[in-house]
């Protein structure tokens, strides 16, 4: 089944970038403003769903050659390893810490280990959601 909706496709091409940018913003803004890994992940997933709706599975797979199962697994791994990292440093599992650094261009920036953890959540949410959606849509009766 291949259908072409020029309006939808043209709009999608622009919208996806906006949604994607927003989702990344939401992911990183989560520390101080509404957002976070879970929401960011869902927004990214919705952008991808939009792509799938506007184009077809095959095309999207060529454009974004990501194995979502592996992405989800990697996400879980990142989160768990963040926790293990604190064990290595001799503090209880999953202890988070933060500090302020002077970075070039960005100025004084707060860096938190929680951010890495949140990145894991983000990857897992995107990966899982897309795994479910693509595997259902790939299935044919």
33/59 with CB nearer other proteins: 33
Q: What is the CA radius of gyration of the chain?
A: 18
63/84 with CB nearer other proteins: 84
Residue 33 tokens, joined: 């403003």
38/61 with CB nearer other proteins: 38
Partners of residue 112 on adjacent β-strands: 98
Could you tell me if residue 139 is left (phi over 0), alpha (psi between -120 and 50 degrees) or otherwise beta? beta
- In the bound complex, what is the minimum distance in angstroms from residue 88's beta carbon to other proteins? 16
62/138 with CB nearer other proteins: 138
- In the bound complex, what is the minimum distance in angstroms from residue 79's beta carbon to other proteins? 5
- In the bound complex, what is the minimum distance in angstroms from residue 76's beta carbon to other proteins? 5
Following CA atoms 33, 38, 44, 50 in sequence, which dihedral angle do they give, to the nearest 10 degrees?
-120
- In the bound complex, what is the minimum distance in angstroms from residue 21's beta carbon to other proteins? 15
Sign of CA dihedral 9, 130, 60, 56: negative
Q: Which residues contribute to the site for other proteins (CB under 8 A)?
A: 26, 30-39, 42-43, 45-46, 49, 53, 69, 72-73, 75-76, 79-80, 83, 93-94, 96, 98, 110, 112, 114-115, 117-118, 120-121, 124-125, 127-129, 131-133, 135-139, 141
Pairwise CA distance, residues 21 & 44, whole Å: 9
């Amino acid at each position: 089944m291949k259908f072409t909706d020029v309006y939808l496709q043209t709009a999608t091409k622009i919208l996806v970038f906006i949604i994607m940018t927003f989702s990344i913003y939401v992911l990183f803004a989560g520390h101080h403003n509404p957002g976070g890994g879970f929401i960011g992940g869902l927004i990214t997933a919705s952008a991808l769903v939009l792509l799938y709706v506007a184009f077809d599975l095959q095309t999207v797979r060529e454009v974004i050659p990501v194995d979502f199962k592996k992405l989800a697994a990697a996400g879980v791994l990142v989160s768990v390893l963040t926790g293990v990292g604190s064990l290595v440093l001799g503090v209880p599992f999953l202890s988070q810490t933060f500090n302020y650094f002077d970075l070039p261009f960005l100025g004084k920036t707060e860096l938190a280990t929680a951010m890495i953890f949140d990145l894991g959540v983000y990857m897992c949410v995107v990966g899982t959601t897309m795994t479910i959606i693509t595997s259902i849509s790939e299935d044919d009766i």
